[in-house]
Amino acid sequence: MEITIVRGDPKPWGIDGHLYINRKLICDTVEHPTHHLRQGDYPIGWDNNPFRHGDGALALKQREIIVGKQLLPGVVTQSQATYDRLYERLKKAFQRGTPVHLTIRG
């Protein structure tokens, strides 16, 4: 499974982006403006899943990625439902033994 996040420009309240799975747009993302993963490639597993649910990026302390539908810059809605759907897709991939790979661009 190929997951790609395409980020927009960093703002003081967060870094907004779009999450694609196998080149299909799935949801929006938001990350902390300074505590975020660097651009690059990452293997994803159960023990290093960076995706979370939440409302805004400023509460994040780790290098995590909140998923949902963008409401305002740095804020998403429908995060729990979006995370649950993404979690199920990841769970199925891990159960099948499919490698999950994250690329962050922007």
Kindly state the tokens that stand for 67. Answer: 């998923």
- In tens, the pLDDT along 19-48 reads 999 999 999 999 999 999 999 999 999 899
DSSP character at residue 37? P
Kindly state the tokens that stand for 46. Answer: 């159960």
Q: What is the pLDDT of residue 29?
A: 97
Alpha-carbon distance 104 to 81, whole Å? 23
Mean pLDDT of 6-12: 94
Q: What is the pLDDT of residue 59?
A: 82
Which pTM was predicted? 0.94
Alpha-carbon distance 20 to 11, whole Å? 21
Overall number of domains in the chain = 1
Alpha-carbon distance 94 to 49, whole Å? 11
Given a contact cutoff of 8 angstroms between Cβ atoms, the answer to whether 17 and 30 are in contact is yes
Q: How many Cα atoms are found within 13 Å in the side-chain-facing hemisphere of 87? A: 12
Instruction: Determine the structural domain holding residue 65 and report its residue range.
Output: 2-105
